[in-house]
Amino acid sequence: MKRLKKFLASDFFYQFKSDKMAIVSFTIIFTFVTLAVLAPLISPYNPHDPSQIDLMDSEIPPVWDHNADEEPDARFWLGTDQQGRDMFSAILYGLRISLIIGIFAVAVQMVIGIAIGLISGYVGGRVDAFFMRLADIQLSLSTMMIAIIGLAIFQATFGAELYEEMAVFMLVLVIGIAEWPQYARTVRASVLAERNKEYVDAARVIGLSSPIIMVRHILPNTLSPLLVISTVQVANAIISEAALSFLGLGMPVTMPSLGSLISSGFEYIFSGSWWITTIPAFVLILLILMINLLGDWLRDVLNPKLYKG
Amino acid sequence: MALIEVKNLCVEFPTRHATLKALRGVNFSIEKGERLGIVGESGAGKSLSAFAMLNLLSKPGRIAEGEILFEGQDLSKLNDDEMRSIRGNRISMIFQDPMMTLNPVLTIGTQMVETLQAHRKISKAAARLIAIDRLNEVRIPSAEERLESYPHELSGGMRQRVVIAIALLTEPVLIIADEPTTALDVTIQAEIMSLMLDLCKTHNVGLILITHDLAVVSQVTQKVIVMYAGRVVEQGATRAVIENPRHPYTRGLMAALPQQNTPGKRLFQIPGSMPTLDAMPDGCAFNPRCEHVGDDCRNKMPKLDSFEGHLVRCHKAEELQIKGEKS
């Protein structure tokens, strides 16, 4: 309660209140996250359960787009896809999967990146050179390339069935590993700046050990750039997942993410069923846009040089 | 047995071109509860001696020679773990700039509790009680609330008080203060200095005070070392050195102090600046700036000799004394 009060009185919250863009983007992201978390409660159907799908219901348009001679189908307000799945439920579940992959992939990146960045920056010398060259090599291969190779090899060796079961885990792992250098470089740069400050000397004089100094004293001082890149990285991870799913390497059609929904509806776009692709695409674009806008705002607020007063 | 005894301490920095000798043979000892001042201009090796004592030299610096006997134990030969149990526990250090020595993102309380827990098996609550106690001791009002403050919420003087409180937390026997008041304004300087003096007396803590303020040294310390270019040029009881300085450099420092009884006169200045480590002159390091320089001074490094109860490194010490009495 005390903490909450302190937060509400803080400069950060004041900045947030006085920026409409921040409020709008935060509200939309918050709504999406809530919807995703509560998907099983909100959605009328379970799109992962084949027994609830009836092929007779396939390609029903959204309620506002019905032909003049037909009654609108009130069961499916966003229409259905080619297999008769309710689009609204599929999007909620897809959003859930996309967000899970985005957040966990970033968590993996963070853990690897922060550990390597801290050690490189603090220890320096050969250790630093080794990890940073590793990061350079990693960055010279694009995320998509690493992901495609990794996932394709996994599918080829263990078969598509096992892959379908482990798709979420594999995507998190692959996207997480492919993007750690972003964090490692950011952390290392901040550590280099912080390492020579007197409070680090003071901590050594107090008699603290190096791991404690790194984690307790230096890491908290590098958090604000991390927070900013985290927002961008979540958006990137969701995009990567969507792209991989679109290419058929991501989530299987039976457990669609936003990307695989877009992909599966793509063939039908010219036969008149535009909603199967367009609506999930719109949700994806809105989500990414809002995350990026919130990230921009965070960067401005956390950077005292751009302080707007 | 002396609390800490430094014998022939030499520090060098091996570089690509040459090995630079930054500290050449420093000797001193402190008894329990005794206070020593180290004086000299920037780059004379004052802070370096302190860092060398705590084994905190930054690379590539290293102790080339000498012993640092702390309670009979040679600190220069301890490994990192053994050293950590002494640093911050038995010997604390106070730095120049209190704006920089406190971690900006941790509360005062966190930093104090952490220090205690690094050296003792103690619960958080017990550590907080000790922290509050120390904050009271350095006369910080409403200590309990201050524990929740971040460093940026405190003024410079308050912060230095917190730093002193942290230094006292583990009840050390020796505190090394590296220009503790330089970053503060004059009125606060006096307060902080007298606070430190009081605390050292009540806790019977030894103090090594590194400063370039001779006035502070004369008030606070019992012994003093004057350093120039990595060497001790004058050493002895504070009173003897201040009242009867024998080395031209010490005399220059004394003459450069503003005096109230000679208004309107230009202050004395020692001409030139200290030689860099890679361009030491032959003979006495002070000879290019010395007004009494003679042939001996340009050729031979003078020894640290005893004159009237304190040690002086000057060929002309005797002569200068006679001159000084005439004028």
Tell me whether residue B300 is in a domain.
yes
Q: Do B118 and A206 touch (CB under 8 A)?
A: yes
**What are the pLDDT digits (tens) for A4-63?**
888 888 888 888 888 888 999 999 999 999 988 888 888 887 877 777 777 777 777 777
Residue B321: pLDDT band with limits 50, 70, 90: low
Angle at B185 between CA B183 and CA B186, to 5 degrees: 120
B112 vs A: CB within 8 A: no
- The pLDDT score that the predictor gives to residue B327 is 43
Q: How far is B172 from A171, CA to CA, in rounded Å?
A: 55
Tell me whether residue B177 is in a domain.
no
Residue B180: pLDDT band with limits 50, 70, 90: confident
Task: Report the sign of the C-alpha dihedral through residues A154, A155, A159, A160, in that order.
Answer: positive
B149 vs A: CB within 8 A: no
Domain positions in chain A: 22-39+82-304
Tell me whether residue B233 is in a domain.
no
**What are the pLDDT digits (tens) for B212-236?**
888 888 888 999 999 988 889 999 9
At residue B207, φ and ψ (nearest 5 deg) are -135, 130
Which residues constitute the domain of residue B258? Answer: 244-326
- The pLDDT score that the predictor gives to residue B261 is 67
Per-residue pLDDT of chain A (309 residues; tens, 9 = 90+): 788 888 888 888 888 888 888 999 999 999 999 988 888 888 887 877 777 777 777 777 777 776 666 666 667 778 777 777 888 888 888 899 899 999 999 999 999 999 999 999 998 889 999 999 999 998 888 888 888 888 888 888 888 788 888 888 888 998 888 889 989 999 999 999 888 888 888 888 888 888 888 888 899 888 888 888 888 899 989 888 888 888 888 888 788 888 888 888 788 878 777 888 888 889 999 999 999 999 888 888 887 665 554
**What are the pLDDT digits (tens) for B25-36?**
888 889 888 999
> Which of these three, B123, B139, B169, is where a domain ends?
B169
- The pLDDT score that the predictor gives to residue A304 is 64
> Which of these three, B148, B169, B190, is where a domain ends?
B169
B127 vs A: CB within 8 A: no
Tokens representing residue A185 in the block: 């470089």
User: Among residues B99, B101, B184, B105, which one has the least CA distance to residue A198?
Assistant: B101
Residues B119-130 have a mean pLDDT of 91
Buried b (16+ CB within 10 A) or exposed e, B138-156: bebeebeebbebebeebee
Please state the domain count of chain B. 2
Confirm if B297 and B316 have CB atoms less than 8 A apart: yes
Asked if residue B323 has pLDDT above 60, the reply is no
Tell me whether residue B202 is in a domain.
no
Q: Does domain A22-39+82-304 have CATH number 1.10.3720.10?
A: yes
Tokens representing residue A162 in the block: 């096992």
> Which of these three, B131, B146, B169, is where a domain ends?
B169
Confirm if B52 and B11 have CB atoms less than 8 A apart: yes
Residues B113-136 have a mean pLDDT of 91
**What are the pLDDT digits (tens) for B129-138?**
999 999 998 9
Q: What residues of A are in contact with residue B165 (Cβ under 8 Å)? A: none
Tell me whether residue B208 is in a domain.
no
Confirm if B146 and B133 have CB atoms less than 8 A apart: no
Q: What residues of A are in contact with residue B102 (Cβ under 8 Å)? A: 199, 202
Tell me whether residue B268 is in a domain.
yes
Q: What residues of B are in contact with residue A221 (Cβ under 8 Å)? A: 103-105
- Give the best residue of A205, A208, A209, A218 to mutate against chain B (max B CB count within 10 A): A205
Residues B259-277 have a mean pLDDT of 78
Tell me whether residue B192 is in a domain.
no
Tell me whether residue B270 is in a domain.
yes
